[in-house]
Structure 1
Amino acid sequence: MTMMRKTITIPDAMESWIKARIESGLYVNDSEYMRDLIRRDQERHAGEEQLRGLIAEGLESGMSNASAADIKKRVEDRLKADGRL
């Protein structure tokens, strides 16, 4: 993987925060911290895109004829099957 060098300007308070994170042992250096922030942002964006797709799918499917109790039961059954309930 090719690495690119970037120069950023941040306020003193942010610099102090980054240094504290490095001193805590969570990160080796500034670059590792920034790469982690970018990875997390990419993951969050992907999750948001997935959620938007699911919302669009739900809206396109129209209204359900199932009762609230039926819907709740289906969700509970699905969560139990997945081991989340």
Structure 2
Amino acid sequence: MARLLEARRPPGKPRAAVAATWPVGEETGLPKFAKALILPIMSTMNISLPEGLKSFVDEQVSQRGYGTSSEYVRELIRKDQDRQRLRSFLLAGAESPLTPPIDAAYFEGLRDRIRKAAKPGDGE
């Protein structure tokens, strides 16, 4: 897709401007399953790294099957987002009020509710 956008980009025109003109929705002529594969417009960010970190990134890209260093960095960012989301869930759980212990009686009560709901003729 990126190669198609590059091929359509006139010299001197920014990538975002070309991507914004790429047809979307029904205009693409693509089948439904392929429309979900159209990537969002991406911004560019330049990052300065010491030589040691750049070498590490290059090594990870080649060893772990990433196509570019950008793919590797995007994956790191996604993992960090997931980690932060999990941390917030854990903190919210830790701050929530205590509940009664979950024991055999609790599970037996759940089973009773399911049995009652599954009985034919109840309520209908």
Pair in the same fold by TM > 0.5? yes
* Pairing of 1:16-35 with structure 2 (within 5 A): 16-35=55-74
State the identity %. 26
The offset of 1:61, in angstroms, is 2.7
Runs of 4+ aligned structure 1 residues displaced above 4 Å come to: none
The offset of 1:22, in angstroms, is 1.5
* Pairing of 1:43-82 with structure 2 (within 5 A): 43-57=82-96, 60-61=97-98, 74=103
CA RMSD of aligned residues (A): 2.1
Aligned length: 65
Deviation sequence 1:25-69 (CA, Å, 0-9, x none): 421111100100110000000000000000001xx338x7x7xxx
What code does the residue aligned with 1:46 have? R
Gaps of at least 5 residues in structure 2 are: 1-39, 108-124
Larger radius of gyration: 2
Give TM-score, length-normalised by structure 2: 0.47
2:51 aligns with: 12
SS of structure 2 residue aligned to 1:40: helix
Gaps of at least 5 residues in structure 1 are: 79-85
Structure 1 residues 54, 13: closer, same or farther in 2, change over 3 A? Answer: same
